[in-house]
Amino acid sequence: MSLRLFIPCDSGALAVGADEIAAAFAAAGNSRNLALEIVRTGSRGLYWLEPLVEVATAQGRVAFGPVAPEDVDSLLDAITNNTPHRLSLGPTDDIPWLKRQTRLTFARCGVIDPKSLDDYRAHGGLKGLARAASVGGKAVIEEVVSSGLRGRGGAGFPTGIKWRTAADANGAQKYIVCNADEGDSGTFADRMIMEGDPFLLIEGMAIAALAVGATKGFVYIRSEYPHAIATMTKAIDAARAGGLLGKAIGGSHHSFELEVRIGAGSYVCGEETSLLESLEGRRGIVRAKPPLPAHQGLFGKPTVVNNVLSFAAVPFILTEGAKAYADFGMGRSRGTMPIQLAGNVRFGGLFETAFGLTLGEIVDDIGGGTRTGRPVRAVQVGGPLGAYFPRALFDTPFDYEAFAACEGLIGHGGVVLFDDRVDMLKQARFAFEFCALESCGKCTPCRIGSTRGVETVDLIRTTDDRASRIALIKDLCNTMKFGSLCALGGFVPYPVISALTHFPEDFDATPRQQAAE
């Protein structure tokens, strides 16, 4: 008898023992004389079920999880004898959490072998690049513009407009840079794509290169992602061997080369201009804009800098057409957003869906509330510089403008839950502290203001004159918001002011935990 198993090699699955499970299956298969083929995939993104093991059947894949090494023998018994098992989750595609999603970008993640270009092609890959090569750069840009795709790295700038600017810029040499620094707390979608569907990112970057006339690209990956670095590096080699990179990409006359570059662990190196400084071999310090990177970016040449998810959305847009993408979403937020649920959450993972669900649906319904089972008190959306939302704002739709109207941001789609024991004064302090640690030091409001912010928050619990301290924090936030050169200093007011506005009761003399006891 032969069996085909799928076991993730995604970092999240490895962290809970996926390698040990794969080894246990291989050993058990040997001792039973079973012809076992184990395909290492990315993750499906249902992290509370990892390690998730799938088995190919005539009716499609069926899933089991979370699997421990001691489950392997009984699982093999159940699979080979076709009997029930307590870890059985049924057909993978019918798992409600997965079935409710609209997976345009993550359609292949967890499904294919990330090392195999053939598998990528067999699951619909490379069609976008072929179409891009046949319609030419100008038409590609128009398609991306009309899809309504906005940058998924945080700022939400229209991707097609950025590409048009770089295409129109003068310069014999142009670059494509992928921002895979993914520094936001609670986010992991970029990593999942790089580990689970790396050719998708390469295809998206190749389409961008063709569109703007760039011949060289870099993927800037944070050093904390060793598995993503290894998978991307291998995928680039395979892409070169398979004609996706190199000369005449996708049957065009255009050549495009790609390299991985590794960051050194700085949050501000995710900011596009300090990323470019870092790529050029200097310390990651923010550059003043203008000039925009699309005019003068890497080594002073026109450069497109986009997030992993922005590039990864493009092959679908080229394959299925701009309208197919733009038909999803609401208002000016078109298409889908890979939402990442993290923190104290029951069902943590990757949930790709059209824009427009309310925050409450995402937190209570999809996330299932907190893992501790206690009430959700606050939700931070958009990374460490995102606002904290109280339950009173849970009817806010997941949409760039709706979040901005509530003094918040969607950012890279990270949604981090906190239960009723969270101390919001500590969270406000953390925002200043984080900024002080990560500040590049170029401008005063951020470099000095963040440290003064920590000191002033500390005084709230040690002095009687709390009102004047809070007024000072608000004043400081105003200076940082309008006086900072980049969004690191400029966005610290989001978490601080939202904590003050929605949870004023925490800004008194008694630490929250003690008050609750």
Ligand X SMILES: Cc1cc2nc3c(=O)[nH]c(=O)nc-3n(C[C@H](O)[C@H](O)[C@H](O)COP(=O)(O)O)c2cc1C
Q: Is 486 in the site for ligand X (CB under 6 A)?
A: yes
- State the Cα angle at 283 between 282 and 285, rounded to 5°: 115
Q: Report the partner that residue 183 touches, choosing among ligand SF4, ligand X, none (CB closer than 5 to 8 A by kind).
A: ligand X
- The Cα–Cα gap between 485 and 70 comes to 55
- What does the alpha-carbon distance between residue 219 and residue 222 come to, in Å, rounded to a whole number? 10
Determine if 302 is a binding residue for ligand X (CB under 6 A). Answer: no
Binding mask 474-503 for ligand SF4 (x = CB under 6 A): ----------xxx-xx--------------
Q: Residue 297 interacts with ligand X (CB under 6 A)?
A: no
Q: What residues contact 395, with CB distance under 8 A and at least 6 apart?
A: 358, 359, 360
Cβ atoms of residues 208 and 306 within 8 Å: yes
- In the block, tokens 């009430």 appear at 375
65, 97 contact by CB (below 8 A): no
Stretch that binds ligand SF4, among 191-199, 335-343, 363-371, 441-449 (CB under 6 A): 441-449
* SS3 assignment, position 332: coil
* Contact of residue 266 among ligand SF4, ligand X, none (CB under 5-8 Å per partner type): none
384 binds, among ligand SF4, ligand X, none (CB under 5 to 8 A by kind): none
Q: Say whether residue 268 binds ligand SF4 (CB under 6 A).
A: yes
Is residue 278 at the binding interface for ligand SF4, with CB under 6 A as the rule? no
Phi, psi of 381 (to 5 degrees): -115, 130
| Residue 66 structure tokens | 């979370």
Where are the alpha helices (H) located in 242-363, listed in sequence order? 272-279, 308-320, 322-326, 359-360
Which residue lies nearer to ligand X by CB, 143 or 419? 143
How does DSSP assign 52-68, residue by residue?
A: PEEEEETTEEEEE-S--
- Among the residue ranges 30-38, 67-75, 78-86, 268-276, the one whose residues contact ligand X (CB under 6 A): 268-276
Question: 180-239: which residues touch ligand X (CB under 6 A)?
Answer: 181-183
Binder of ligand SF4 out of 72, 286, 402, 473 (CB under 6 A): 286
Residue with the two structure tokens 């750069």:
137
Q: Does 271 bind ligand X (CB under 6 A)?
A: yes
497 binds, among ligand X, ligand SF4, none (CB under 5 to 8 A by kind): none
Nearer to ligand X, 6 or 267 (CB): 267
Q: Is residue 306 within the footprint of ligand X (CB under 6 A)?
A: yes
The tokens describing 54, both together, are 């799938």
Q: How far is the CB of 334 from ligand SF4 (least distance, A)?
A: 29
Calpha distance 503→239 (Å, rounded): 51
Stretch that binds ligand X, among 178-186, 206-214, 357-365, 459-467 (CB under 6 A): 178-186
Specify the 3-state DSSP secondary structure of 5.
strand
* Selected range binding ligand X among 39-47, 149-157, 194-202, 207-215, rule: CB under 6 A: 149-157
Is residue 446 close enough to count as binding ligand SF4 by CB under 6 A?
A: yes
Q: Give the closest residue to 148 by CA, choosing from 404, 398, 325, 413.
A: 325
Q: Does residue 439 touch ligand SF4 according to CB under 6 A? A: yes
Q: Compare residues 43 and 307 and give the one whose CB is closer to ligand X.
A: 307
Q: Is the CA virtual torsion 413, 414, 420, 425 positive or negative?
A: negative
User: For 39, phi and psi rounded to 5 degrees?
Assistant: -100, 125
Q: Which residues bind ligand X (CB under 6 A)?
A: 151-155, 157, 179, 181-183, 267-268, 270-272, 305-307, 310, 486-488
Q: Which residues bind ligand SF4 (CB under 6 A)?
A: 268, 286, 439-443, 446-447, 484-486, 488-489
